[in-house]
A = this chain, B = another copy of it.
Amino acid sequence: MDILDQFFDSLKEAQGQLASENRQKKDAALGSMAEFIDARRGDILRANGIDVERARSGGMKEALVDRLSLNGKRIDDIIEGIRTVIRQEDPIGRVRAGWTLPNGLLVEQITVPLGVAAIIYESRPNVTADAVSLAYKAGCAILLRGSQAALESTRALVGALKAGLEAGGGFPGAVALADSGNRDEVDRILKARGRLDVVIPRGGGDLIRHVVDQARVPVLETGAGNCHIYVEPSADMSRAVDIIENAKIQKPGACNAVETLLVHREALPLLLPSLAARLAGKAELRCDGPSKAAAGLPPPGLILKDALPEDWETEFLDCVLAVKTVDSLDGAVTHINRYGTKHSEAILTNDLGAAEEFGRRVDAACVYTNASTRFTDGGEFGFGAELGISTQKFHARGPMGLEALTTIKYRITGQGQIRP
């Protein structure tokens, strides 16, 4: 019985105890976790510095280095995330529905913890605290398997969180870090049927594919974000330029960043010249013929290339934007439902019917009208933290907060009823 087997057993045992813990005790333990993160911020930043240095010297892209990096502000955000989780209602023990059958049986649908969860994630260290605090409040034990790139940061954070649980009267056994670095470790987690109730992969396309392929444990997929913005001629073009710049540039490594811009043919001359001017020096455009023509002579500093077919299906995670011309809303919806990853899709328009139709027909977790796709985020939505953004079509869809870690149990109370 190696360390991973021991984790499976100890997580299950701790989860059994945590499941009966009341809100006051869970919140006290969470508060103590926040305090320990605060008290140990120096250690955490030093550990993160080691990871960042190693990543840079290994040639990691800057957008990804940014995802990996912590600073004082990001530590503050982690602490504030925990505090927001504390402020939220306990998701457990709610009677969501209840009714009495004609034979007198009382049927109640009660929320209970999902159980023991595993999260397999890449580089972003704040995921560690988000996942632990959400899981704890939802009464779930959690097995963390972070990336090798963030190993030192993750160890420092988990150390602080577990120390916080210990000091705050909680169950430190409900949190475990699988950090052997063995690839085999991931596959054993994925096959641990009966020992884990769910596995949540959070990272790039390769990770998700590997998990979906290998997992025999139920998976909550958090997928890649090949997100689109579709611009209609009726849109406010000055707002459109602001929104597109924000969705592409503000954090290009994020999954809710826009990757392909779809422009109605009649909107091309209204949008492309000012967009090209705005993105000069900031982004590379990969245009189809009509949009390239509409952009005119590229302003100094703008990289303007011809789009290739594979650009439509690429999550660049970089300052690159593909641009395609469409002839109608139907063309935009068809393109999105073919190439999109069911993540976040936006229409910029002033046409009520078009906004309604786009919202209804586009198959995605989040559908925006006249706003940046960058808001798809548990923190932005008010959940305090998130486990990731589900792009599958199960019940946890979009940003996953506390609710995503609960399930229900039917409690049926009778007085001797038998089925006729």
Contact = CB atoms under 8 A, between A and B. Distances in A.
Given A99-B382, A410-B366, A239 B416 contact: yes
B99 A367 contact: no
A242 interface: yes
Interface string A369-380: 111101110001
Q: Is the interface of A mostly helix, strand, loop or mixed?
A: mixed
A122 B361 CA distance: 34
Given A213-B216, A371-B105, A398-B408, A197 B393 contact: yes
Contacts of A242: 416, 418
A24 interface: no
A107 interface: yes
Interface string A323-339: 00000000000000000
- Which bucket holds chain A's interface residue count? 35 or more
Contacts of A34: none
Interface centre among A382, A413, A419 (most CB of B within 10 A): A419
B395 A395 contact: yes
A380, A413, A417: residue with the most chain B Cβ atoms closer than 10 Å: A417
B393 A394 contact: no
Given A371-B412, A371-B418, 15 more contacts: A20-B360, A101-B381, A101-B382, A236-B416, A243-B418, A246-B418, A359-B409, A367-B411, A367-B412, A370-B415, A371-B417, A372-B418, A380-B419, A397-B409, A399-B410
